[in-house]
Structure 1
Amino acid sequence: MAEMMYRDAVRETIREEMARDESVVVLGEDVVGGMGTAGGPEAIGGIWSTSTGLFEQFGASRVIDTPISESAIVGTAGGLALSGKRPVAELMFADFIGVSLDQLWNQIGKFRYMFGGKTRCPAVIRMAYGGGYNAAAQHSQCVHQILTGMPGLKVVMPSTPEDVRGLLRTAIRGDDPVMFLEHKALYGVSGEVPEGDYTIPFGHARQVTAGEDVTVVATGMMVGVAEAAAERMAEDGIGVDLLDLRTTSPMDEEAILDSVEVTGRLVIVDEAPPRCNLATDIAALVARKAFSSLRAPVEMVTAPHSPVPFALELEQAYLPSDDQVEAAVRKTLDYR
């Protein structure tokens, strides 16, 4: 097992896939240049340093700086995918998907369906999302609930460098459009990564901690928040069955329902605001399919229904915390 940083896992996986398959191309704003550089081998590879060195190795025909136009980036990725390429496109911030919704919702997500299955669209759209970076309301949002609600798109939210490697390989090698969401606060996190060419299938949740007292479901950055709470509660003898969904579309419904059948309690942690988010979707799923197993009302730990604040103290108060997760778990345990 090697130690690798989250951002390095992104970059090295893309590098390996480009070397393995000449149809893989990278495009996006500043993926060559960035931060005032003129491009070329000296470039840092964007503000997140997730494409550093790719231009030097693969050249201008496969690593393409684009204009500041998310609609152009996503539209180009769709066209490249239809013409036999495997584009890996980057949106610098997930918040900007709003200007490319037609390309995503009405085009890329529907190509295979509307063409009667006679075509494929293997486009991977990478984007940095989430709060905790003091980047204000237009650069700190979670958009997974919007993308998850669009049929035809697969939505991936890795929480560890290991999962970045396995899930990104699956995304690039697949034949469907994938929205690959990378939490910006995780880029500097390190973790062990297995050696070799491994993939992780979509729709299979990861059990982070095992327990029989309460089920906790989380994604992305919130997995670490929930894990901190679970480890603290374990000292009090509370067993938390923590599930990292990994992908929200497809979603591992079976893992959630099987866990709730054992624990009888459910807490969902979601960084997005509470109205029509992933937490409400999972709560509805369990209410429909596992109601008889529940021994307590479902609890949700989410951000408030508000834009993300800029002030550091307010942003920290806005984001779900391990203390809030623990309080929600203990609340479900009050029902005996």
Structure 2
Amino acid sequence: MNPIDIIPNHQIGIQITAAGGPEVLVPVEMPVPECGPLDVLIQVVSAGVNRHDVNQRRRGPDNIHSPVPGLEVSGVVARIGVDVHNIDVGDHVCALVNGGGYAQYAIADVGQVLPVPSGLSLQDAAALPEALFTTVHNFFGVAKLLPGESVLIHGGTSGVGSMAIQLLTEFGHPVYATCGTDEKCAMAEELGATKAFNYRKMPFEKALQAATDGKGVNVILDMAGATYGHQNVEALARRGRMVHLSPGGKADISLPLRELMRKEAVVTGSLLRPLPDAEKAEIARWLYAKVWPLIGKAIKPMITQRLRLDQACVAHEMLERGDIAGKIVLAIQRPPEQ
């Protein structure tokens, strides 16, 4: 990496050039972003790759979001805004960003910047923000998960799923998961899941009811869109909550209304990116106080693929095939000398 006091005017980033497949991700020379009063400019070492990036690419450029995908990065603070007082140039950090992560420099709101945990490398810290912010917001914010309540996570070995299993298990919640292969089910159980079900081999809702003595689970986190509406309702406990992270291929969902009413169940969902900065900052403070001491010990990101920045299209291909477990990280610049 260049010395942090030498910041170029231009950088290389991956841009979504049109709606389409992974081939529309193209390396482009672009300006280094400017720092606002409460912004932190990060010289990026690594960027996490997420399903949201794939969905944004499929939709194509718009007038709302950055054409450069990427919602999480790790790196070195290169510049700070005039109203930033708790972060210094040269600090090693990871951050949730509002797009722009697939680039050599990225801007983050100061409230969404966290120090790299002592138990993790600077390169691996890019795998933390999106999964942890998503887990905390949805389970504790949206679903109001209570002590001891049980959960079902669809996609147990995804980036979010693998992190959520570890965090919730450490916090004393019985965790169940669904996965697409027996190998992934074994991985989910190694991460701490009480039981993982191969949804391609069995009706997961019946297996889960048997595993919970007919009680069901209190909260379901679903990343599969409208696919499992009926099965999810059957898997829920009375007054359970179903939280959706993605509309999947379609936004419409069909549910057995009578059973939903009988169970007094709640069906909801959330989008992390539009969440107000103040709420994201609150999540960051919660993470720093309660989760950061556990990182590298009880909670570790499951990074299974490391690719170069110019291989972003390969990363998207792997995510879309669904054959990847854990997290894909893009290596963007070399870390500084330790």
- TM interval, short-chain normalised: under 0.3
Larger RCO (alpha carbons 8 Å, 6+ apart): 2
Instruction: Return the TM-score normalized by structure 1.
Output: 0.26
More strand by percentage: 2
More helix by percentage: 1
Instruction: Return the TM-score normalized by structure 2.
Output: 0.26
